[in-house]
Chain A
Amino acid sequence: MRPFKKLLLFFLLLMAAHLLHPDTGRGIIYIDINSPETRKFYLALPAITAFGQLPQGMKEEVEKTIAQDLSVADLFYLPERAKLPLQAAYITEENVDFKQWGDAGVEFLLSIGLKAERDTISIEFRLFDCVQHIYIAGKRYKGSQGEVRVMAHRTIDEVIKQLTGERGIFQTKIAFVTDRTGNKEIALMDVDGHNEKTVTKNGSINIYPAWQPDGRSLLYTCFQRRNPDLYQVFLATGSSVLLSAVPGPNATASWSPDGKGIALMMRGKDNTEIYLLNPQGKDPVQLTRSWDSKTSPAWSPDGKQIAFVSDRSGSPQIYILDLASQKLRRLTYEGSYNCSPSWSPKGDKIAFARQEGNGFHIYTIRADGTDVRRITREGNNENPSWAPDGRHIAFSSRRGGNFAIYMTTADGSGPWKVTTSESNETEPAWSPWLQ
């Protein structure tokens, strides 16, 4: 009992110290994720230190969540624990032995503590630069038992922010289409596949989820009224409103980055055209006018251009419309079937799907048409959607029986399988930043 009390006191004092001197290393960008030469860094993650009586399995769940997030972040090599220095106690700025960790080849050290106090759980971390011997940052998060995964994700997001200056993606969400009820419904999950929620429950065909820029609602298309109509569902209440029900498709909607317009495919003259609606789904403005079929508008992050699919060349290809000049240019030339454009939130790249053989692969291309790269290696891969960090891409893939949601980085690392059900999960739409 006494050693435990001592430890607890020590812990509390450290907390106080931390609160007095937070974020010691702030301002230094250790990892420039926008540089093409970014290499991975050696980050040591010693075993989590548990304080108090933790619920069964909680420590393992947090360990697993944090290790998975660090892997998906794709910024670090995680050396095997067996090769790390032995860890006697919870590592803090008071007791850290920089030289010992540095000598083991560690560049960053992430020390994590997990504590249970009645029904309250807290996670705290300390992050160290073992090369320059700097205590970079430490924070503590409190919550209920049910929030422990969220706290783990917040921890890693904060670690990534401290090292790169940019937010991590682990508190964002992915909307997708699932056929587990025998029809197609829109659902929502965390990026680790947990915390899944059904968004629509109308038993109809619900497809093409698209996020409002502030993350409060999703647009989707539903056939309930015997027409592909556009709806908006508010995530806080779960209630849907009908936005646009013009005869013909009101589909593949995409919210402008400033939230002031909705681009979508609607009926033209015996074909489909790209239209622009106001946020209430009214006052359609026709943006394209020609004989060919058009679909899948995707905004550039500055809101000045829209990429979309047209078959005017005889096969589906991606084109870019400049809204101010009304000028149209063709983006993809290779391949006989290019579709599903998704513009990186950083503006530099467009992800898309190209048909190859009997399936599709995910590609990226620069907005100027150069640097075409295939980023999937196997399976039938469709519907890429960028994460708000501009580094990760979600897509649907069939590798065997059913379609599942996967994630990859834009340079093809991973992929990581997100959904694990037996049903078909397709059309992922990665949320914007949510907090």
Chain B
Amino acid sequence: MVRKKGRLWMVMLTIILLVFISGCAALQKKQALTPEEERAAQGEKEKAAQQEQEKKSFEQSLAQKKYPGIEGTVWESTLLKDILFEFDRYDLTEEARKLLTENAKVLSNHPNLKIQIEGHCDERGNSAYNLALGERRAASAKLYLIKLGVQENRLSTISYGKERPLDPGHTDEAWAKNRRSHFVILSR
């Protein structure tokens, strides 16, 4: 009888042990990740790091700028590229569209940015007509950015006509640089 009782205890103990061990195994199995899940987690981590990196490099791309005789300051980012125009034209070249697409990406990555698009002209031609032309060049860039999904209320425009050339030279090369839309950050 005692021996029988003792055997029963052994069995029960074994069962309990087995249950415990299997339970542990089951528990262990629940916590482990599938390879897909593992990759996704890794991706998120990388994305966060990338975003951090991008934020950092965007911050590094910024330079505060004060225009002489004009109130306030703006930021310029080397990531927001100027687009160039042909003489007396305001339509976008293929290259300009490409650059605007990149600029639009920067704007979508940094949804707090409000920017001003500046229309500029070379020194040739009449000052008043160039002020009108600069208005057109800024508007061309703005319309394309809106088409690419940038919210209109993040974009303002100004024409400087031929009053603020990037390159003060009188050569074809200088003129080409000056026929541009330039992007500055008003707030971020």
Given A183-B68, A183-B69, A271-B139; A226-B158 close (CB under 8 Å): yes
Cβ–Cβ contact A293 & B129, under 8 A: yes
Cβ–Cβ contact A295 & B132, under 8 A: yes
A267 to B129, CA, bound (A): 13
A226 to B136, CA, bound (A): 17
For A205, give its contact among B69, B71, B116, B143 (CB under 8 Å): B69
Cβ–Cβ contact A295 & B70, under 8 A: no
List residues of chain A with CB within 8 A of the CB of B143: 270
Interface residues of A in 380-422 (CB under 8 A from B): 382-383
A249 to B132, CA, bound (A): 8
B94-131 CB contact bits vs A (8 Å, 1 = yes)?
A: 00000000000000000000001000000011111101
Q: Which residue of B lies closest to A266 (CB)?
A: B135
Q: Is A265 engaged at the interface, CB distance under 8 Å to the other chain?
A: yes
Q: Is B160 engaged at the interface, CB distance under 8 Å to the other chain?
A: yes
For B126, give its contact among A228, A248, A294, A382 (CB under 8 Å): A382
Interface residues of A in 290-315 (CB under 8 A from B): 293-296, 309, 311, 315
List residues of chain B with CB within 8 A of the CB of A309: 126, 128-129
Secondary structure type dominating chain B contacts:
mixed
* B161, chain A: closest CB distance, angstroms: 8
Q: Is B77 engaged at the interface, CB distance under 8 Å to the other chain?
A: no
Q: Which residue of A lies closest to B90 (CB)?
A: A293
For A295, give its contact among B88, B128, B163, B164 (CB under 8 Å): B128
Q: Which residue of B lies closest to A271 (CB)?
A: B136
* A207, chain B: closest CB distance, angstroms: 7
Q: Is B145 engaged at the interface, CB distance under 8 Å to the other chain?
A: no
Given A183-B68, A203-B68, A207-B163; A249-B135 close (CB under 8 Å): yes
Cβ–Cβ contact A204 & B70, under 8 A: yes
- Total interface residues on A, CB under 8 Å, equals 44
List residues of chain B with CB within 8 A of the CB of A198: none
Cβ–Cβ contact A316 & B126, under 8 A: yes
List residues of chain A with CB within 8 A of the CB of B69: 183, 202-205, 223-224
Q: Is B72 engaged at the interface, CB distance under 8 Å to the other chain?
A: yes
Q: Is B133 engaged at the interface, CB distance under 8 Å to the other chain?
A: yes
15 interchain pairs (CB within 8 A)? A184-B163, A205-B163, A207-B163, A223-B163, A224-B70, A224-B71, A225-B70, A248-B158, A271-B136, A293-B136, A309-B126, A340-B126, A355-B125, A360-B126, A382-B126
Contact residues of B with A, CB < 8 Å?
A: 67-72, 88, 116, 124-129, 131-133, 135-136, 139-140, 143, 156-160, 163-164
